[in-house]
Amino acid sequence: MQLELPGRRADTFALRLPRMLAGQRIATAAAVAGSGLAAFALYLATLAPSVMWYDMGEFATASSTLGIAHNTGYPLLILLGKAFTFLPAGDSDAYRVNLMSAAFTALAVALTAWTIDDLTGDAFAACIGALTLAFAGTVWGSATWATSYGLNLFFLALISKLLLAWHRDRAPSLLIAAAFAFGLGMCNHRLTALAAPASLPLIIAARRDVSVRTALLAGAATALGLAVYAYLPIRGEQEPALSWARPAEWRTYASMFINGQTPAGYWTFDAARREVPWAYARFDLAPGGLALAALGAAVCMVRKRAVAAYLAAIVALDLAIVLSYRIHNIYAYLAPSYFALALLIGVAAAWIIERARSERRGVGLPPWVRVAAAGAVLALLPAWLAAANFARVDRSGDYTAHDFARTTLERLPAGAVVMTDSWTASPLWYAQLVDGMRRDVLVSPAFSVEGEDTVALARQHLAAGRPVYAADGLRRPPAAMHDAFTLQPVLVDGIEIMVTDALPTPRYRDALVMRGSLYRVLDTPPETAVDAVPAGAERDIRLGDELRLAGFETDGAVADRGSVVQLTYYWRADKPVTQRLGAVTLFADAAGRIATRDGWPLWQQARAIGENVRETPGWRAGETVRESYFVLVPRGIAPGDYDVRVTVYDASDPAPAIDGAPAATVGRITVR
């Protein structure tokens, strides 16, 4: 056996070192690119195909038309969104702005993998942490439509990557670049601001390496990034079609820049909501992910205390905001915490793999077997999240907002006014300002304006001879409108809204349910009693002790998905009706199945019979009452024949037993 001299071993290692470093760089590049591409592939597969509701539709419209969005104005998002509209992808600007969210969230995932690799030198662990972040439901859901949260996550990941690299290398250019990224990020969303106080542990630990010149250059870089806000006054003075910066004056721009015009009432610390972050984090990252994050925090405290302090500060500051800012989708603000926890998950995964690789007495398995087994177990976390969340966040077939806007605008009379909130106004604005539909219709987000006298506004439009409509959204038409007017349902259950007006449970966070309606606003109730049922529409179906369906008809036996069908019911009272009765109309395919999503019917109408016009209490024996509504035919159902089934229930019961009530088949619609 030839002995190898120490000098010879050193020479051999010196020759191998460049190859080892090259291999590490390849592994890092593969982890970064692979994590980002894997995330982007699933985001693309679940991406919303068209305009959506609320901020998502507003951002698509503002980006396409170079407008000014609500609150802080979001100048960077709008400019980047406009750039994405020039891509040869999809068939609408809305799709391409949705694509922007997917792209920047995927880039955030790639940066997360890169940062973990920097911290641990373990490319596999970097993939575990990054993909856990990628497939967390809150992060994934935000990546499927046009929001500011994916872009915000990207800037937090970029700032963190630069700060942590600067903390390690002390290169002034890295700190200056982080400051510039911070300024840019603030032009998208104010949640970026938490990176500033969170960075103090890193800056304090390296304070002797921060010269006055570096500090001044960092400040200048931040100001340069913030200069994107000049978009607001420049564009605002041009009076874009969609602009929340009205009146267009310096006070408006200053307010949007300084505090985002957020009402003070939104900021109220609520300790009772302390369970919210825990419930969402446990759902989004799974108990296993939280356990790994706790292990990673312990490892960081021993090996990289300044890094641990930085990540702890991000989580603490983020939780303070979540517990203090009262908005319905506050769970989206947990993404910065998830980013910090994902880094810790990566650190924990690297530690576990390191322990598996090390030689231990009493363990007969070779190191590669232990490492492979540990890696397989760790990979279960992102794999399980991907499998569990795919169907939940999949919006690839959701055209409801697009179809609602198109069919509504097509049927509104000339000069009509639609009063609603920003949830439902957004797709209508998109159809008008981007697709060029029905610019004569005024879409007013009056229900979103604090202190707006919606009754007086409606009276003003009615006095001017304009037909007035009210649409559900996050906020139903206020009680004052019900007291002052008759709100006659026109389109029933044709608007997707959240499961609850309050903060939803994590399970139903991504669920949008077809239960919003469009109403005609009238000074006096229309006459609904009729003398007879038209020929060909006659039915004789008893539905309860007091009521029967004497007739039913549609405006066509064949309907296209994405269109609307008008359904007309003729109710006859067998005796005086004392109860407030409601009816649910469901559509069953040839096999008797009702199409559902997350347990909710995709295609239904649920309302009180004669809702808001002439409800059943007080109906006289023998009289016939007619009601007629439109229903949107969802694209998520298969073509074929559908039986129209009607169930009557006690509408005065806050929790009626509709499932057990008898259903009658009253007609059939063929869907193409």
In a domain, 251, yes or no: yes
Among 393, 423, 449, give the residue marking a domain's end.
393
In a domain, 1, yes or no: no
Question: pLDDT class for 1, splitting at 50, 70, 90?
Answer: very low
Distance of CA 158 to the CA centre of its chain: 22
In whole angstroms, how far apart are CA 575 and each of 210, 529, 572, 582? 87, 15, 9, 17
Q: Is the separation of the CB atoms in 84 and 99 below 8 Å?
A: yes
Does one domain contain both 259 and 368?
yes
Tell me what pLDDT residue 4 has.
Answer: 36
Does one domain contain both 623 and 537?
yes
Does one domain contain both 577 and 440?
no
Closest CA to 514 of 425, 428, 604, 594: 604
Q: What is the mean pLDDT of residues 438-466?
A: 93
How many Å apart are CA 491 and CA 516, to the nearest integer?
9
Q: What is the mean pLDDT of residues 363-369?
A: 77
In a domain, 558, yes or no: yes
Tell me what pLDDT residue 207 has.
Answer: 86
Does one domain contain both 483 and 604?
no
Q: Which two tokens stand for residue 230?
A: 């000049």
More confident site: 277 or 632: 632
Predicted confidence (pLDDT) per residue in 383-414, tens digit: 999 999 999 999 999 999 999 999 999 999 99
In a domain, 315, yes or no: yes
Predicted confidence (pLDDT) per residue in 475-524, tens digit: 788 888 989 999 999 999 999 998 877 777 888 888 888 889 999 999 99
Does the structure show a pLDDT above 60 at 432? yes
Does the structure show a pLDDT above 80 at 291? yes
Tell me what pLDDT residue 360 has.
Answer: 63
Who contacts 72 (Cβ-Cβ below 8 Å, separation ≥6)? 189, 190, 256, 257, 260, 261
CATH number for the domain including 622? 2.70.50.60
Tell me what pLDDT residue 8 has.
Answer: 39
* DSSP state at residue 228: G
Tell me what pLDDT residue 263 has.
Answer: 67
In a domain, 350, yes or no: yes
Does the structure show a pLDDT above 90 at 44? yes
Instruction: Give 565's Cβ-side CA count (13 Å radius).
Output: 26
- The proportion of the chain whose per-residue pLDDT surpasses 70, expressed as a percent, equals 93
How many Å apart are CA 398 and CA 391, to the nearest integer?
13
Who contacts 51 (Cβ-Cβ below 8 Å, separation ≥6)? 57, 60, 61, 92, 94, 401, 402, 405, 426, 427, 430, 431, 434
SS (H, E, C) 299-342: HHHHHCHHHHHHHHHHHHHHHHHHCCECCCCHHHHHHHHHHHHH
Who contacts 553 (Cβ-Cβ below 8 Å, separation ≥6)? 534, 536, 537, 567, 568, 667
87-124 burial by CB neighbour count: b if 16+ within 10 A, else e? eeebebbbbbbbbbbbbbbbbbbbbbbbbbbebbebbb
Tell me what pLDDT residue 663 has.
Answer: 84
Does one domain contain both 131 and 162?
yes
Does the structure show a pLDDT above 60 at 3? no
Does the structure show a pLDDT above 80 at 376? yes
Q: Phi and psi at residue 466, in whole multiples of 5°?
A: -95, 130
Does one domain contain both 417 and 505?
yes
Angle, CA of 414, 419 and 424, to the nearest 5°: 105
Question: Please, is 222 exposed, middle or buried when counting C-beta atoms within 10 Å of its C-beta (0-12, 13-18, 19+)?
Answer: buried
Tell me what pLDDT residue 589 has.
Answer: 93
More confident site: 178 or 6: 178
Q: Is the separation of the CB atoms in 404 and 430 below 8 Å?
A: no
- Dihedral of the CA atoms 519, 525, 526, 530 (nearest 10)? 120
Among 375, 393, 411, give the residue marking a domain's end.
393
To which residue do tokens 């605008």 refer?
409
Tell me what pLDDT residue 370 has.
Answer: 86
Closest CA to 322 of 311, 337, 338, 333: 333
Torsion sign over Cα 105, 109, 112, 114: negative
Q: Which two tokens stand for residue 293?
A: 């994050």
Run of H or E residues at 552: strand 547-554
Does one domain contain both 404 and 289?
no
Tell me the range of 41-50, 275-284, 655-664 where mean pLDDT is highest. 41-50
Does one domain contain both 561 and 508?
no
Who contacts 621 (Cβ-Cβ below 8 Å, separation ≥6)? 573, 574, 575, 576
Does the structure show a pLDDT above 70 at 260? no
Q: Determine the angle formed by the axes of helices 123-135 and 335-357, rounding to 10 degrees.
A: 150
In a domain, 649, yes or no: yes
Q: Which two tokens stand for residue 647?
A: 């169930």
Q: Quickly count: other Cβ atoms within 10 Å of residue 302's Cβ.
A: 9
Tell me what pLDDT residue 27 has.
Answer: 87
Domain residues for the domain of 583 are: 529-672
In a domain, 581, yes or no: yes
Domain total of the chain? 3
Does the structure show a pLDDT above 60 at 275? yes
In a domain, 309, yes or no: yes
Query: Minimum mean pLDDT among 159-168, 253-262, 267-276, 473-482: which range?
Result: 267-276
Closest CA to 201 of 306, 344, 305: 306
Does one domain contain both 513 and 577?
no
Residue 78 identity (one-letter amino acid) = I
Average pLDDT in the chain: 90
More confident site: 557 or 441: 441
Task: Write the DSSP string, 143-206.
Answer: TTSS-SHHHHHHHHHHHHHHHHHHHHH--HHHHHHHHHHHHHHHTT-GGGGGHHHHTHHHHHHT
Distance of CA 128 to the CA centre of its chain: 24
How many Å apart are CA 395 and CA 389, to the nearest integer?
12
pTM: 0.91
Tell me what pLDDT residue 39 has.
Answer: 98
More confident site: 158 or 450: 158
Does the structure show a pLDDT above 60 at 294? yes
Q: What is the mean pLDDT of residues 282-297?
A: 95
More confident site: 641 or 5: 641
Among 509, 524, 539, give the residue marking a domain's end.
524
How many Å apart are CA 261 and CA 585, to the nearest integer?
43
Tell me what pLDDT residue 138 has.
Answer: 94
Predicted confidence (pLDDT) per residue in 73-129, tens digit: 999 999 999 999 999 999 999 999 999 999 999 999 999 999 999 999 999 999 999
Does the structure show a pLDDT above 50 at 10? no
Q: Which two tokens stand for residue 173?
A: 């250019």
Tell me what pLDDT residue 7 has.
Answer: 38
Does one domain contain both 378 and 446?
no
Query: Minimum mean pLDDT among 20-29, 312-321, 659-668: which range?
Result: 20-29
Residue 149 identity (one-letter amino acid) = Y
Q: What is the mean pLDDT of residues 600-610?
A: 90
Q: What is the mean pLDDT of residues 421-431?
A: 96
Does one domain contain both 176 and 34?
yes
Does one domain contain both 577 and 611?
yes
Q: Phi and psi at residue 153, in whole multiples of 5°?
A: -65, -40
